[in-house]
Amino acid sequence: MEGGRRLITAHDAGLTAWAASSGACLPGLVLARPGSALSALPPHGPAVVQAAMLPVRPCLPTFARFPPPGPDWLHEIKHDGYRMLALRDGERVRLVSRYGVDWTHGFPAIVAAVEALAARNCLIDGEVIACGGDGLADFQLLRRRQHADPAILCAFDLLGLDGHDLRGEPIEERKAELARLLVDCRPALALNRVFDGPGPAVFEHACALGCEGIVSKRHGSRYATGRSRDWLTVKNPAALAVRPGQEGRRALGETSTLIFRPAGESRPDDYSVIHKGQRVGRIYRMHSTDRELWYWTEIGARAPNTGLADTLEAAETAFLRAWDAQR
């Protein structure tokens, strides 16, 4: 919020118009604003810290095919970015991903915004995003940004404040505290709007506006660690982050000859990498762990490159780099 004005994204404006016409209650704000086109240079690299240094184990939503229809849920836009915990302890601020990657030096404006909050210490859960000219979070802009290019921490939960552990408090109280904390915050921080309307209606309008999907959270729920049934995520099947391109396939990289294609409807988290009609790689989510991990591997006569990543997009990037390094 700048000068007492609300800053909302294009997709939020569309949902707000729908809510106003339907009489839905909207108890949250979105402070994010669209960013300009960003450079294609690589981001300032993160540092890896020990997983034990994570202040908490983040709550993860359970994947659902349909949004819950009943009144026991609140709903938020699912943004396409980096899941991030912002930890302030006195004068020190750290930005740490859900798997312990330290991004503090990668987003200086967000760090400065957290430093400016009226709190001695706090722990904020959110998503770092970069917005395109249409107001939607654009993961490609985020991945290609330079060190000083704009990014926003879209905050959706407050786990601790001034020595008080809030994880056992109902979600409504945590969000109310978060809203108070972020009043008049700097533009690099945003409060993710909450929609109390029917889940299917919120999801329909989110999809129509091109959003990645929604996350539905049960009223009165506490902050859990790991995967939770109190948080449900439903993804827009037409969104780029879910099924790139109209036919579910696209090139990896702007000038790449690699094609990224879903393996099939029955395997939504399994993707093939195609080069000149031949399958040269595979990227899939490992379901045997209690955390979201993506495994990527080359297939073929060459000595295979393999690796793990904590997002599908990161696995794509790692595969492309390994492929290009041998060209």
**Helix 199-208 to helix 10-22 angle, to the nearest 10 degrees?**
140
Strand-pair category, 189-191 with 213-218? unpaired
Single-letter code of the amino acid located at 223: Y
SS3 269: strand
119 closest CA partner among 202, 172, 182: 182
Q: State how far the alpha carbon of 128 is from the alpha carbons of 44, 142, 146, 232, 248, in Å.
A: 14, 8, 14, 20, 25
| Span between the terminal Cα atoms of the chain, in Å | 48
Catalytic residue among 78, 175, 217, 235: 78
Closest CA to 27 of 148, 168, 196: 196
CA distance 215 to 230: 10
Residue 175 is among the residues annotated as catalytic for this protein: no
* Strand 73-77 relative to strand 213-218, pairing: antiparallel
Active site members: 78
